[in-house]
Structure 1
Amino acid sequence: MAVIAHLSDIHIDDERSVRRTRAVVDYLEDLPYDLDLVLVSGDIADHGTPEEYAVARELLDSRHPVLVCPGNHDDRAAFRRGLLKEPADTAPVDQVFRGAGFTVLACDSSVPGKPEGWLGDETVGWLEEEVRRVPEGDAVLVAFHHPPVALHLPYVDGIRQFGEERLAELAGRHPRITAFLAGHAHTAAATVFAGLPLLVAPGVVNTVLLPWERAAHAGQHVRLDLPPGVAFHVLDEGHRLTTHFRTVSTEG
């Protein structure tokens, strides 16, 4: 059995974002269990500055393995330099994590200068090649920032991942893909894409309201007072995936 903690959208900027991120990471650090992976699915920095990535790198330092992918608020060059300690480069930040019995392929769905997502030809080709390289018997989890389907959140749906038919076709060619993991929506969500689970991590910095919730909150689009959250994806030996969502107190 493998357990993956999945958080997203920490948007490091001010003291509030730092406090909420620290609360989630401290919660994971205090678990009486060694997680197989902590996945952070994008929007690490709020403005993509070197200073924000320096803070994020310190905050995300963990006793657990950590895999971080970029989102639409991130800057590829600064992300590489600040978080991965690699030379500045504007190429897609596509990464592989190999665990015991599973492989996570983290795709860069960001489009420099734009809020919506897209998997470029380079990333789609990389993903196809890496799926073929996954060790026999491993489950394959594909992660990115932007969900490739509408989630019934009008603003988020307008800047979701487009060109999703290419990803769906790839998944159809590779039945070893077990699930897709995303962020971007700032709300916990579970749906289906290409006949497979698509699991969206809750936001850390805030929570996006559903359209039918807004009337009760004076037309607000986000709630700043709701606690940050994390998803736990549990993968058993038969590649069955179970997800639990938890909120984390920021008090004390």
Structure 2
Amino acid sequence: MLVLAHVSDIHIDSEPRSIERAARVFDYLKGLPGEIDAILVTGDLADHGLAEEYETVAKLFSGPRTLLHCPGNHDSRGPYREILLGESASDEPINRVHRVGDAVFAMCDSSIPGRSDGFLAEETLTWLETVLIEADDTPVFVCFHHPPVVLHVPFVDGIKQHGEERLAALIMRYPNVVAVLCGHAHTGATTTFTGLPLLVAPGVVSTLMLPWETDKIVDLDAPPSIAFHILDDDHRLTTHYRVISPRL
């Protein structure tokens, strides 16, 4: 059995608010009495893509638990690489593969520098296919920031991942893909993509409101939330969502 904590959209900036909310989430995860296999953070780690923001992110990410991450549209590839990955600055897509237990995680870069919407570059799709081939029969989670589907929330649907038919054609060729994990929407959501689970993590920094809930777009006061994904020995995936309230 594999247990994953799925976090997204921490949007760290210079303000105490974003840092407190993210720290609340990571303190909760680091303090869990039971074991989890990994923490996944699906993008928008920094709010302005600044080096000092990534320095704060690096401190939040420190600790003994396995932590995997990928960039979002608010991230900047240069300082992201330098501070979080210890690499030279480059504007190439940041794609990384990790093996955790009996599963493989393809952390893909769906960002387009200077834009809010998403797209998987051809080099990213080529890289992903190599990951899927080399994984053989091992379960694979495909992870990125931008949802490749409409979530029926106008604000986020306008800046979704485009060109998703290319990703769909690729995934359909490889039955070892068990789910697609993403963020960007600032609201927890579950749907399907090519018949597989597509699971959207809630936002940490804020919650996007649904159009039939209220006239405002975002709620800055709602507490941060996360998702727990469990892949059992039969490769059945179960997800629980958890609100992280302030400690009293």
Please indicate, yes or no, whether the TM-score normalized by the shorter chain is above 0.5. Answer: yes
Question: How does 1:6-25 map onto structure 2 within 5 Å?
Answer: 6-13=6-13, 14-25=15-26
Counterpart CA distance in 2 for 1:10 and 1:100 is: 26
1:110 shift after superposition: 0.1
Counterpart CA distance in 2 for 1:76 and 1:127 is: 19
1:251 shift after superposition: 3.8
Counterpart CA distance in 2 for 1:43 and 1:251 is: 25
Counterpart CA distance in 1 for 2:76 and 2:98 is: 21
Counterpart CA distance in 1 for 2:236 and 2:106 is: 18
Q: Does 1:220 align with 2:216?
A: yes
Deviations for 1:52-91, whole angstroms, at most 9, x for unmatched residues? 0000110111221001100000001111111111111111
Counterpart CA distance in 2 for 1:142 and 1:177 is: 7
Q: Does 1:139 align with 2:139?
A: yes
1:190 maps to what in 2?
190
Q: Secondary structure at the match of 1:173?
A: coil
Equivalent residues of 1:96, 1:106 under 8 A apart: yes
Read off the aligned partner of 2:102 and give its amino acid letter: G
1:240 maps to what in 2?
236
Q: Which runs of 4+ in 1 moved over 2 A?
A: none
2:163 maps to what in 1?
163
Aligned length: 247
Counterpart CA distance in 1 for 2:233 and 2:105 is: 16
Read off the aligned partner of 2:221 and give its amino acid letter: D
Equivalent residues of 1:101, 1:138 under 8 A apart: yes
Counterpart CA distance in 1 for 2:247 and 2:57 is: 20
Equivalent residues of 1:12, 1:44 under 8 A apart: yes
Question: How does 1:54-203 map onto structure 2 within 5 Å?
Answer: 54-134=55-135, 136-203=136-203
Counterpart CA distance in 2 for 1:103 and 1:34 is: 19
Q: Secondary structure at the match of 2:169?
A: helix
Unmatched segments (≥5 aa) in structure 2: none
Deviations for 1:24-51, whole angstroms, at most 9, x for unmatched residues? 0010011112211100000000000000
1:137 shift after superposition: 3.9
TM normalised by structure 2 equals 0.98
Counterpart CA distance in 2 for 1:5 and 1:77 is: 27
1:41 maps to what in 2?
42
Counterpart CA distance in 1 for 2:50 and 2:245 is: 28
1:210 maps to what in 2?
210
Read off the aligned partner of 1:113 and give its amino acid letter: G
Counterpart CA distance in 2 for 1:117 and 1:176 is: 24
Unmatched segments (≥5 aa) in structure 1: none
Equivalent residues of 1:34, 1:64 under 8 A apart: no
Counterpart CA distance in 2 for 1:4 and 1:68 is: 13
Counterpart CA distance in 2 for 1:190 and 1:61 is: 29
Give the RMSD, CA atoms, in angstroms. 0.9
Q: Secondary structure at the match of 2:212?
A: helix
Counterpart CA distance in 2 for 1:186 and 1:9 is: 7
Q: Secondary structure at the match of 2:156?
A: helix
Deviations for 1:137-179, whole angstroms, at most 9, x for unmatched residues? 4211000000000001101000000000001000111111000
1:250 shift after superposition: 2.5
